[in-house]
């Protein structure tokens, strides 16, 4: 390409703008600005906030007295904090396990041949994921009303005593939340596992058949191991999302009865934005960030070894 | 070909179709199970749909029925005009607000945030894909925005919005504004936009672009006239996906809006938390709130099922 | 020695995919201990047939018998047949050892015995060094050996191979061919081998089944196929370079039966009756192999009328030269020894002995049998 001496400023600008490093810069600039403004600075801010003692009513935040690790101690010694954390983990455990098992069963079921209308069914199954969480929460709230359809069906099936006061007993209330989450997110597991199953190469399975393996053996020795990376990713993503659960709890139980169904996000929200104890909330937030980063690092480990294949 | 003597049963030369009766029964059973599954996933929404068309007398009727006996659209009209309840809908207590402002807000905030998020994400994804900007670390780094609970960011962001920004840029109000929410949504969805579009850009062979560059095209031209059209489908899928995320977002909307910038999900929570029972309008609002995303979801589900394995399955 | 018995029999085997016929009414007896090649262009149905024998595809109609037992509805697990895939289909997440051991493991054999047999077969296939390696990391030739070993270890009655040497570059391919053939002779097992490479089929097979568009074109020994191709397709598929085809009119002149195309004439009076019985409308396609067109200087006396041609192209190869000769509207491909001196542009006299002709009816595309 001949480099002709250009004289007009417009041409000089366009030549400059086309240089590779300028090009790259402009492409990434909006992202960088955004990340810094809305992410990095607030992260620094939250660390700062966690180290001071401040509430909005106290006035200027830049003048707040340093409390150093006082907030952290307060959080970590608060039994309610641990209770909430434990409860959230319980919800995550049960919800994600159920979603995984059901999603896998669905994926296997729909991976068969000779199922007419597969397209239609899969698109019906996928839509719960799209619904706003608040709507799902409200829908399930309606379903589990004392005089609602769920109790009605239970009474029909199991007799008059089977109706439950769903939102008045903590274990039941947690159960409804888990059920709502499972209803909404099993399709997610289904989607990932179904795609994974579909992407598996057919020939090793056929080879296993010619070698005499039964369908169950093929599933156990060939299909599952090959799906391992996909399964891990699906579980990690869903578990992380589920851990943040907020909308469902807010709408369905409001954390009640009392505070017995509060999830971690809801608890932090209340602490910071309802009770106004922003410093405590900040400390919790920092703890959360650190622990999630650590957990994810370890969860992704089994995948890293695969990359070298 | 000579047929040697072999003890085979009588050799038939008649072509016999393979599909036996047993196969048909199996298919039918599978179909029934599939229908059952579909019903499980449809029922809750059908129930809400049903209530949304029921008059107040039927809201709490027992035994509950799926089909309203006297269906009406009063619940829906109530949402837009609660001050003048039509016909049999009676307002119990005051938390009923007209929902139109919330819808207008969402209809502005979600698309705008989506578009900008996709654009920024796409440009950055191109840089990462073609020039490895930020190394292998970059996409993962941006994903941290999705990993951490929003509430953790909300705490400093509130201070940020209400105290820091106004002191840095005087007069710029972000709290309880559409702009404030839009900016936040862009920031928290751009990671997805980057990740998804990067995958599609990676699928465009480099040599096509290189050929154009050798022909004298500028990099910008290559980006917009060659690469962009080729990833159109992926961009559409990404856009719809992010639209769903922004439309349904609740936590930030709840915290960062008060009166003026309320979005639809927040509106739903107002209705849901209202004292007094007006399930009809509540259900109607839920249906309306879901419509845009269900439509968006329908449009992308074709793309969804095909490529969700994150490149981890080896061919 | 008694005639070998058929070990596999196909009767009227048919396979349709969504209305397209992949295999149309195939009848075949596979003899025990033979190396049988399925040969044909891609899409001809050879791989589909192989997969139906293995049980990986269900026939739309027809039956399959193994040693006299009907196996048409039997799933692949229970047929006791080995299958080697074109891309080997190894279990890439397992080690070589586990790949080889798989067939025995799923049968529930005790670990000690499995280990012994795996080691034995690894030794025979020179895989001992890589036993502990992940199958995904092997080179091509090792993969192929693992694919073979994995199947052989279960001692299948018949081995089915689907173009296993496709991925090898030409030089290595010939070596692997010889290895495979040697293996088959040593083991004495029946092998059905699918390929689209006619040279491969002709050098390795005891018999070759030539297929085209789902139908059988010819089944015979390599010699039969080369010397007496049964149809135009077979004749055009076999041989490098392929046969020359010249459309000709059948005439009776002065008591002699002649085939004429332009200035070319062949006297076929000897076979007049056969030709007239099998010919449909007075036209015949004359097939002449490139090696059957002889320069006058190299021909024996009395082989026929010499024909004046012009040399259009000379392609020198290692031991031969391929010439393209122009005569009338035809461009004939001829093979001559490398020592033969000839230049492009020269005029060259050649003869085409009648005894070397292959005649085909243009309508049925079948060979006209002269005997």
Mean pLDDT of chain C: 88
| H or E element that contains C7 | strand C6-17
Residues forming a β-bridge with C310 = C326, C347
Supply the pLDDT for residue C255.
Answer: 83
The answer to whether A132 contacts B250, with C-beta atoms less than 8 Å apart, is: yes
Q: pLDDT value at position B15?
A: 40
Chain A CA closest to residue C82:
A210
A20–B219 C-beta distance less than 8 A: yes
Would the CB atoms of B144 and A14 count as touching at under 8 Å?
no
Q: If you average pLDDT over residues C165-194, what whole number do you get?
A: 87
Tell me the mean pLDDT in the region C44-72: 92
**Are residues C254 and C64 in contact, defined by beta-carbon separation less than 8 angstroms?**
no
Q: Which of residues 286-315 of B touch C (CB under 8 A)?
A: 314
Could you tell me whether strands C35-39 and C207-212 are parallel, antiparallel, or unpaired per DSSP bridges? parallel
**Residue C93 is nearest to which of A207, A213, A226, comparing CB atoms?**
A226
- Name the range with the highest mean pLDDT among A7-11, B18-22, B217-221: B217-221
Q: B16 falls in which pLDDT band (50, 70, 90)?
A: very low
pLDDT at residue C35 is higher than 90: yes
Q: Is C362 on the interface with B (CB under 8 A)?
A: no
Query: How high is the pLDDT of residue C371?
Result: 66
Residue C77 has its nearest CB partner, among A209, A225, A226, at A209
Q: Are A133 and A184 in contact (CB under 8 A)?
A: yes
Distances (CA, A) of A113 to A8, A109, A110, A117, B26: 66, 9, 8, 11, 11
Give the least confident one: B167-176, B306-315, C255-264, C328-337.
B306-315
User: What are the residue ranges in chain A where pLDDT is below 70?
Assistant: 1-7, 14-18, 56-64, 114, 302-309
Q: Nearest chain C Cα to A203, which residue? A: C89
Query: Is the pLDDT assigned to residue B315 strictly greater than 70?
Result: no
Topology annotation, domain B100-312 = MetI-like fold (1.10.3720)
A83-275 CATH choice from 1.10.1040.10, 1.10.1240.10, 1.10.3720.10, 3.40.50.10800 = 1.10.3720.10
Instruction: Give the separation between CA C323 and CA A90, rounded to whole angstroms.
Output: 83
- Identify all chain C residues contacting A217, using CB atoms and an 8 Å cutoff: 106
pLDDT at residue number C53: 94
How would DSSP label each residue in B258-295? SSSS--HHHHHHHHHT-SS--HHHHHHHHHHHHHHHHH
Of A18, A123, A309, the CB nearest to B218: A18
| Sheet order of strands, C81-84 included | C81-84, C158-162, C190-195, C35-39, C207-212, C215-220
Q: How far away is chain A from the Cα of C74, in angstroms, using its nearest Cα?
A: 12
Note the pLDDT of residue C84. Answer: 94
Closest CA to C49 of C34, C30, C33, C68: C30
**Structure-model confidence comparison of residues C221 and B93, the more confident one:** C221
A214 close to C (CB below 8 A)? yes
Chain B residues in contact with C28 (beta carbon < 8 A) = 1
User: Is C371 or A73 the better-scoring residue by pLDDT?
Assistant: A73
- Chain C residues within an 8 Å CB radius of B3: 29
Q: Which of C12, C27, C219 sits opposite B15 (nearest CB)?
A: C12
Nearest-angstrom CA–CA distance, A245 and A92: 9
Where is C274: in which H helix or E strand?
helix C272-278
Which of C47, C51, C56 is the best mutation test for A, with the most CBs of A within 10 A? C56
**pTM, 2 dp:** 0.79
Cβ contacts from B onto C, under 8 A: 42
Q: Which of B30, B160, B298 sits opposite A42 (nearest CB)?
A: B160
CB C312 within 8 A of CB C325: yes
**Is the per-residue pLDDT at C117 higher than 80?**
yes
Stronger pLDDT, C80 or B5, i.e. the higher one: C80
- Kindly report which listed range (A51-55, C10-14, C155-159) carries the lowest average pLDDT score: A51-55
To the nearest whole Å, the CA of A296 is away from the closest chain C CA by 24
Contact A104, A194 (CB under 8 A): no
Nearest Cα neighbor of C79 from C104, C54, C62, C103 is C54
Cβ-defined contact of B9 to C70 (cutoff 8 Å): yes
Q: In this complex, is the C-beta atom of C92 within 8 Å of any C-beta atom belonging to chain A?
A: yes
A235-264 residues touching C, CB cutoff 8 A? none
Give me the residue spans of the domains in chain B: 24-91, 100-312
Nearest Cα residue in chain A from B284: A135
CA distance A191 to A230: 11
C119 touches chain B (CB under 8 A): no
Residue pointed to by tokens 């209770």: A83
Average pLDDT of span B122-144: 75
Flag if A34 and B248 touch (Cβ within 8 Å).
Answer: no
Out of A35-44, A217-226, B84-93, C354-363, least confident range: B84-93
Pick from C231, C311, C324: nearest CA to C40? C231
pLDDT at residue B7 above 60? no
Q: Is the pLDDT reported for residue B8 higher than 60?
A: no
pLDDT of residue B10: 36
Smallest Cβ distance to C58: which of B6, B9, B18? B18
Measure CB to CB from residue C61 to each of B4, B7, B15 and give the nearest one.
Answer: B15
Gap from A150 CA to chain B (nearest CA, Å): 10
B185 to chain A: nearest residue by CA? A38
Q: Which residue of C has its CA nearest to B5?
A: C5
* Contact predicate A231/A306, CB 8 Å: no
> Are C102 and A211 an interchain contact pair (Cβ–Cβ within 8 Å)?
yes
pLDDT, residue A180, reads: 93
pLDDT tens per residue, range C56-69: 999 999 999 999 88
Q: What is the pLDDT of residue A97?
A: 96
Judge if ipTM > 0.90. Answer: no
Q: What is the pLDDT of residue B249?
A: 92
Does the distance separating the beta carbons of B12 and C12 come in below 8 Å? yes
C-alpha distance from residue B111 to each of A233, B104, B298, B302 (Å): 29, 11, 17, 21
Domains of chain A by residue range: 2-51, 83-275
Per residue in B243-280, pLDDT tens?
A: 999 999 999 999 998 888 889 998 888 888 765 567 88
Greater confidence, B208 or A52? Answer: B208
SS3 track for chain A = CCCCCCCCHHHHHHHHHHCHHHHHHHHHHHHHHHHHHHHHHHHHHHHHHHHECCCHHHCCHHHCCECCCHHHHHHHCCHHHHHHHHHHHHHHHHHHHHHHHHHHHHHHHHCCCCCCCHHHHHHHHHHHHHCCHHHHHHHHHHHCCCCCHHHHHHHHHHCHHHCCCCCCCHHHHHHHHHHHHHHHHHHHHHHHHHHHHHHCCHHHHHHHHHCCCCHHHHHHHHHHHHHHHHHHHHHHHHHHHHHCCCHHHHHHCCCCCCCCCCCHHHHHHHHHHHCCCHHHHHHHHHHHHHHHHHHHHHHHHHHHHHHHC
Q: Is residue A225 within 8 angstroms of chain C, CB to CB?
A: yes
Query: What whole-number percentage of chain C has pLDDT above 70?
Result: 99
Task: Dig out the tokens for A237 from the structure.
Answer: 């993503």
> Which runs of consecutive H residues, i.e. helices, occur in chain B?
21-52, 56-59, 74-80, 100-131, 137-147, 150-159, 165-168, 178-202, 206-214, 219-221, 228-230, 232-248, 251-256, 264-272, 279-306
Residue B92 pLDDT more than 70? no
Distance from CA of B272 to the nearest CA of A (A): 7
Chain A residues touching residue C83 (CB < 8 angstroms): 206-207, 210
């Amino acid at each position: 390409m001949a480099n002709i001496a250009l004289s007009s400023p417009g041409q000089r600008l366009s030549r400059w703008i086309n240089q590779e490093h300028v090009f790259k810069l402009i492409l990434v600039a909006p992202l960088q600005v955004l990340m810094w403004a809305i992410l990095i600075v607030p992260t620094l801010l939250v660390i700062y906030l966690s180290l001071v003692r401040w509430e909005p009513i106290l006035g200027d935040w830049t003048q707040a007295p340093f409390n150093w690790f006082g907030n952290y101690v307060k959080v970590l010694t608060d039994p309610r904090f641990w209770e909430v954390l434990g409860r959230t983990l319980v919800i995550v455990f049960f919800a994600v396990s159920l979603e995984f098992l059901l999603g896998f069963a669905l994926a296997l079921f729909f991976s068969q041949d000779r199922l007419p209308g597969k397209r239609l069914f899969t698109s019906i199954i996928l839509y719960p994921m799209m619904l706003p969480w608040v709507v799902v929460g409200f829908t399930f709230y309606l379903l589990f009303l004392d005089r609602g359809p769920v109790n009605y069906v239970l009474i029909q099936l199991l007799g008059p005593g089977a109706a439950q006061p769903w939102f008045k007993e903590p274990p039941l209330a947690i159960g409804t939340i888990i059920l709502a989450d499972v209803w909404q997110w099993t399709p997610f597991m289904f989607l990932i596992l179904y795609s994974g199953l579909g992407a598996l190469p057919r020939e090793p399975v056929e080879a296993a058949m010619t070698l005499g393996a039964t369908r169950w053996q093929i599933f156990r020795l060939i299909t599952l191991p090959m799906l391992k990376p996909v399964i891990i990713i699906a579980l990690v993503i869903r578990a992380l999302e589920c851990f943040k659960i907020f909308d469902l709890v807010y709408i369905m139980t409001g954390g009640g009865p009392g505070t017995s169904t509060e999830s971690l996000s809801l608890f932090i929200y209340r602490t910071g934005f309802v009770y106004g104890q922003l410093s405590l909330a900040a400390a919790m937030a920092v703890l959360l960030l650190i622990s999630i980063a650590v957990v994810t690092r370890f969860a992704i480990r089994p995948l890293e070894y695969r990359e070298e294949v | 070909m000579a047929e040697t003597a072999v003890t085979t049963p009588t050799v038939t030369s008649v072509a016999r179709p393979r599909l036996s009766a047993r196969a048909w029964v199996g298919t039918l059973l599978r179909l029934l199970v599939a229908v059952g599954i579909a019903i499980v996933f449809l029922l809750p929404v059908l129930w809400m749909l049903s209530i949304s068309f029921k008059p107040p007398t039927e809201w709490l009727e027992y035994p509950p029925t799926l089909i309203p006996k006297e269906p009406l659209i009063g619940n829906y009209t109530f949402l837009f005009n609660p001050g003048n309840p039509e016909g049999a809908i009676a307002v119990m207590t005051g938390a009923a607000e007209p929902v139109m402002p919330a819808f207008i807000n969402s209809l502005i905030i979600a698309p705008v945030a989506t578009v900008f998020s996709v654009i920024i994400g796409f440009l950055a994804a191109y840089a990462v894909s073609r020039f490895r900007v930020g190394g292998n670390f970059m996409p993962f780094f941006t994903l941290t925005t999705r990993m951490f609970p929003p509430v953790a960011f909300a705490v400093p962001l509130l201070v940020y919005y209400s105290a820091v920004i106004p002191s840095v840029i005087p007069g710029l109000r972000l709290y309880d504004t559409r702009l404030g929410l839009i900016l936040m949504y862009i920031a928290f969805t751009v990671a997805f936009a980057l990740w998804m579009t990067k995958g599609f850009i990676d699928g465009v062979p480099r040599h096509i672009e290189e050929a154009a560059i050798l022909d004298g095209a500028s990099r910008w031209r290559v980006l917009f006239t060659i690469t962009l059209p080729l990833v159109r489908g992926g961009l559409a899928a990404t856009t719809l996906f992010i639209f769903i995320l922004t439309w349904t977002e609740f936590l930030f909307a709840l915290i960062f809006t008060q009166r003026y910038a309320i979005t639809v999900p927040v509106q739903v929570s107002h209705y849901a938390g209202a004292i007094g029972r007006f399930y009809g309008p509540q259900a109607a609002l839920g249906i309306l709130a879901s419509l845009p995303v269900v439509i968006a979801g329908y449009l992308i589900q074709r793309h969804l099922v095909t490529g969700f394995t994150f490149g981890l399955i080896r061919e | 020695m008694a005639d070998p018995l058929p070990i596999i029999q196909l009767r009227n085997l048919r396979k349709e995919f969504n209305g397209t016929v992949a295999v149309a009414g195939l009848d075949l007896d596979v003899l025990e201990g033979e190396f049988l090649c399925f040969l044909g262009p891609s899409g001809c149905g050879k791989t589909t047939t192989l997969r139906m024998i293995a049980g990986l595809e269900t026939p739309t109609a027809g039956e399959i018998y193994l040693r006299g037992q009907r196996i048409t509805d039997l799933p692949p697990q229970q047929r006791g047949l080995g299958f080697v895939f074109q891309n080997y289909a190894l279990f890439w997440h397992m080690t070589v050892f586990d790949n080889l051991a798989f067939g025995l493991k799923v049968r529930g054999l005790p670990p000690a015995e499995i280990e012994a047999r795996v080691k034995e077969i690894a030794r025979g296939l020179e895989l001992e060094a890589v036993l502990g390696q992940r199958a995904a990391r092997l080179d091509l030739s090792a993969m192929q050996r693992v694919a073979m070993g994995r199947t052989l270890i279960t001692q299948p009655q018949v081995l089915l191979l689907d173009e296993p040497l496709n991925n090898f570059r030409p030089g290595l391919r010939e070596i692997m061919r010889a290895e495979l053939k040697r293996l088959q002779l040593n083991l004495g097992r029946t092998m059905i081998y699918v390929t689209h490479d006619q040279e491969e089929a002709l050098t390795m097979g005891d018999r070759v089944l030539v297929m085209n568009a789902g139908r059988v074109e010819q089944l015979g020994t390599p010699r039969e196929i080369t010397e007496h191709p049964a149809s135009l397709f077979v004749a055009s598929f076999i041989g490098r370079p392929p046969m020359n085809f010249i459309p000709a009119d059948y005439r009776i002149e002065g008591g002699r039966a002649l085939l004429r195309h332009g200035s070319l004439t062949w006297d076929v009076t000897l076979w007049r009756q056969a030709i007239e019985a099998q010919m449909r409308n007075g036209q015949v396609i004359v097939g002449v192999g490139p090696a059957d067109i002889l320069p006058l200087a190299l021909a024996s006396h009395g082989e026929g009328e010499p024909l004046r041609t012009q040399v259009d192209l000379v392609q020198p190869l290692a031991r031969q030269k391929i010439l393209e000769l122009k005569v009338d509207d035809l461009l004939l491909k001829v093979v001559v020894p490398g020592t033969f001196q000839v230049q492009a542009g020269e005029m060259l006299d050649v003869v085409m002995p009648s005894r070397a002709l292959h005649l085909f009816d243009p309508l049925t595309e079948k060979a006209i049998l002269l005997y």
